[in-house]
């Protein structure tokens, strides 16, 4: 039987459908126009207002859904505008396929109009990239791209799609890729490592677990809690791992890192066994590596062999998918109590509450504070909403004071720290989890970096709740200038536009809150309003995120106040 002949562009659409793609985020242009013609009456496409937003939206979709996000753009500047998002997805292990138009194969290397070496540019920031020059390669390339993007440690894949391959005719047949020679996405643990991990846990008096996003990516939320509860191991999370466990779990000691909670950072340097699961010992988590957990033995559960020993040399590596390795360890560990060890966290929790948290959440006078806004929004949404943040103080306050009861509820730019991430990522999150409330916190700086996406939100009536924490500063940089540069605010004060008028231009409801007495009612109206909403909160201009581990300091040398 002879298969139907179709164009390469139509073959791409059928291949994406075969992979279960639900929505594409993109922007058309000359080199991708044949594909957009094929897209006209097939897949659901969201027209963004800038290509950067397409990849961030694909990231947001992937992070909350667990599926592969997909973006499509044209060649040259269109492709180059995706680079930040591709790099962001790579360092944060987000499964994504980006399809870029390219000039025809015969024109490659001639400096043709809107030709850029996309494969060369993206090679260091992708799991895999490939230039499709022939239409007959499309089904194979798409199947391989999605398999690589979602398997093992997830990440982004870029397909550079030559225009002649889009227009050529082929006999289409769907393909499936589930094996690639020399690619081992699910390595097996070394012999004896499971037994040794259980032995080390059983012998430990002061065990402490670090929970990373790898737990969410593996769907190992229950498996992790089973181990912690059986052996009574207290744990804390990286910002990307915050929703892997319920915020109110009795063994949950909070957030790790530079602006994390005092107790877990101090106890990192007091435990006798540090168990890291699906995290990469980022410098914002470890502080000074020379003094980091030197007293402890270290077990590292990790799927990516390149992360083992990269920053912190483990006593024992447990390679593999933690959804499989954690239960094997749990079978062998003994029930334990560790009551005195768990109780030893409390004095530090009380100290942080009295010095920092109470003032951040329960002010009685003065301007609004970011922390109180975040917590009130979280509670008004029954702690069930998805938190999306931009980057800066809004991100740190958001991650510190939002609370979580469901998995896959944190969407933030971790390793790359991309300002402008918030609005488009929240759009994608709304499509990835349409049944859930999406609350996006943003500063006035990051808001203006992708403010054009209000047009995308307007056109598609995307129901994202945007909380603009407006302090008329680039807040995070201002804090560092306050602390380390003698309060010399070099180009961090912001002269802002009238956001209410801008919102009105996009037909998006907007409310500005200045007085604390109006905050609760405004939040309630925002959450009850169907569709998108902007809640602008005029917050304290010189508020600081505390505690803070100064750059280069030991992880347990956290500042609880600044002078």
Tell me the per-residue pLDDT of 252-265, one tens digit each, with 9 for 90 and over: 999 999 999 999 99
* Backbone torsions φ then ψ of 245, nearest 5 degrees: -135, 150
- In the block, which residue shows the tokens 């403010």? 451
Q: What is the dihedral of CA 455, 459, 462, 466, to 10 degrees?
A: 30
Measured at the CA of 398, the angle between CA 396 and CA 399, to 5 degrees, comes to 65
Q: Is the pLDDT of residue 1 over 60?
A: no
Measured at the CA of 158, the angle between CA 155 and CA 160, to 5 degrees, comes to 175
**What is the structure's pLDDT at 563?**
78
Q: Share the mean pLDDT of the chain.
A: 97
Q: Could you report the per-residue pLDDT of 318-348, keeping only the tens digit for each?
A: 999 999 999 999 999 999 999 999 999 999 9
Q: Could you report the per-residue pLDDT of 375-421, keeping only the tens digit for each?
A: 999 999 999 999 999 999 999 999 999 999 999 999 999 999 999 99
Q: What is the mean pLDDT of residues 289-306?
A: 97
* Other Cβ atoms within 10 Å of 123 Cβ, number: 12
Q: What is the mean pLDDT of residues 205-233?
A: 98
**All residues at 6 or more sequence positions from 185 whose CB lies less than 8 Å from its CB, including other chains:** 151, 152, 153, 303
Q: What percent of the chain has pLDDT over 90?
A: 99
DSSP string computed for 218-266 = HT-HHHHHHHHHHHT--EEE-GGGGGGS-TT-TTEEEE-STTS-HHHHH
Closest CA to 422 of 461, 393, 460, 382: 393
Query: Which helix (H) or strand (E) is 143 found in, with range?
Result: helix 138-150
Q: Could you report the per-residue pLDDT of 527-550, keeping only the tens digit for each?
A: 999 999 999 999 999 999 999 999
**What is the structure's pLDDT at 2?**
57
Helix, strand, or coil (residue 51): helix
Helix, strand, or coil (residue 52): helix
Q: Could you report the per-residue pLDDT of 66-105, keeping only the tens digit for each?
A: 999 999 999 999 999 999 999 999 999 999 999 999 999 9
Closest CA to 302 of 324, 281, 276, 327: 276
CB-neighbour burial class of residue 516 (10 A; exposed 0-12, middle 13-18, buried 19+):
middle
Sort residue 191 into left (φ over 0), alpha (ψ -120 to 50) or beta.
Answer: beta
DSSP string computed for 306-373 = GGTTTSS--SEEEES-HHHHHHHHHHHSPP---HHHHHTTHHHHHHHIIIIIHHHH---SSSB-HHHH
Q: Which residues pair with 23 in a beta bridge?
A: 44
Q: Could you report the per-residue pLDDT of 458-489, keeping only the tens digit for each?
A: 999 999 999 999 999 999 999 999 999 999 99
Q: Which residues pair with 298 in a beta bridge?
A: 274
Q: In angstroms, rounded to a whole number, what is the distance separating the alpha carbons of residues 47 and 459?
A: 9
Q: Is the pLDDT of residue 4 over 90?
A: no
Q: Is the dihedral of CA 390, 393, 395, 401 positive or negative?
A: negative
Alpha helix positions (H), 485-542: 499-505, 519-528
Contact indicator for 74, 28 with CB cutoff of 8 Å: yes
Cα–Cα distances (Å) from 350 to 232, 345, 400, 563, in that order, read 21, 9, 16, 22
Contact indicator for 106, 164 with CB cutoff of 8 Å: yes
């Amino acid at each position: 039987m002879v298969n139907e002949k179709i164009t390469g562009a139509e073959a791409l659409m059928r291949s994406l459908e075969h992979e279960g793609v639900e929505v594409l985020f993109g922007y058309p242009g000359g080199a991708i126009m044949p594909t957009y013609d094929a897209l006209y009456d097939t897949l659901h496409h969201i027209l963004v207002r800038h290509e950067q937003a397409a990849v961030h939206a694909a990231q947001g979709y992937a992070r909350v859904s667990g599926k592969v996000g997909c973006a499509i753009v044209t060649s040259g500047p269109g492709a180059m505008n995706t680079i930040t998002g591709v790099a962001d997805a790579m360092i944060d292990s987000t499964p994504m396929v980006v399809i870029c138009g390219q000039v025809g194969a015969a024109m490659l290397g001639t400096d043709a109009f809107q030709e850029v070496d996309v494969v060369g540019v993206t090679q260091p920031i992708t799991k895999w990239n490939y230039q499709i020059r022939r239409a007959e390669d499309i089904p194979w390339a798409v199947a391989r791209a999605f398999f690589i993007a979602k398997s093992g440690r997830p990440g982004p894949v870029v397909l550079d799609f030559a225009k002649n391959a889009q227009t050529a005719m082929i006999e289409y047949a769907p393909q499936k890729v589930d094996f690639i020679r020399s690619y081992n996405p699910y390595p097996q643990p070394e012999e004896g490592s499971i037994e040794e991990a259980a032995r080390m846990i059983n012998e430990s008096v002061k065990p402490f677990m670090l929970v990373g996003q790898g737990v969410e990516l593996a769907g190992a939320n229950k498996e992790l809690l089973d181990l912690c509860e059986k052996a009574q191991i207290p744990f804390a999370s990286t910002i990307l791992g915050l929703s892997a466990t319920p915020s109110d779990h009795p063994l949950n000691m909070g957030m790790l890192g530079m602006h994390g909670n005092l107790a877990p950072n101090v106890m990192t340097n007091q435990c006798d066994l540090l168990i890291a699961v699906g995290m990469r010992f980022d410098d914002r988590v470890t502080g000074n590596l020379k003094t980091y957990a030197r007293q402890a033995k270290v077990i590292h559960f990790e799927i990516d062999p390149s992360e083992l020993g990269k920053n912190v040399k483990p006593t024992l590596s447990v390679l593999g998918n933690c959804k499989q390795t954690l239960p094997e360890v749990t079978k062998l560990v003994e029930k334990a109590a560790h009551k005195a060890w768990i109780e030893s966290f409390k004095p530090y929790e009380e100290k942080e509450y009295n010095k920092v948290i109470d003032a951040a959440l329960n002010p009685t006078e003065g301007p609004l504070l970011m922390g109180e806004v975040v917590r009130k929004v979280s509670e008004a949404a029954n702690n069930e909403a998805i938190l999306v943040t931009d980057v800066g103080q809004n991100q740190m306050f958001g991650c510190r004071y939002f609370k979580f009861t469901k998995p896959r509820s944190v969407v933030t730019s971790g390793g790359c720290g991309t300002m402008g991430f918030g609005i488009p990522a929240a759009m994608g999150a709304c499509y990835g989890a349409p049944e859930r409330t999406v609350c996006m916190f943003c500063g006035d700086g990051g808001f203006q970096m992708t403010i054009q996406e209000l047009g995308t939100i307007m056109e598609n009536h995307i129901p994202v709740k945007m909380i603009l924490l407006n302090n008329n500063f680039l807040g995070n940089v201002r804090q560092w200038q306050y602390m380390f540069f003698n309060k010399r605010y070099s180009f961090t004060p912001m002269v802002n536009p009238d956001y209410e008028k801008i919102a009105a231009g996009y037909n998006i409801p907007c409310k500005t809150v200045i007085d604390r007495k109006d905050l609760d009612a405004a939040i309630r109206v925002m959450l009850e309003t169907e569709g998108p909403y902007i809640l602008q909160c005029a917050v304290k201009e010189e508020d600081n995120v505390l505690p803070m581990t100064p750059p280069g300091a030991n992880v347990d040398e956290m500042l609880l106040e600044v002078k």
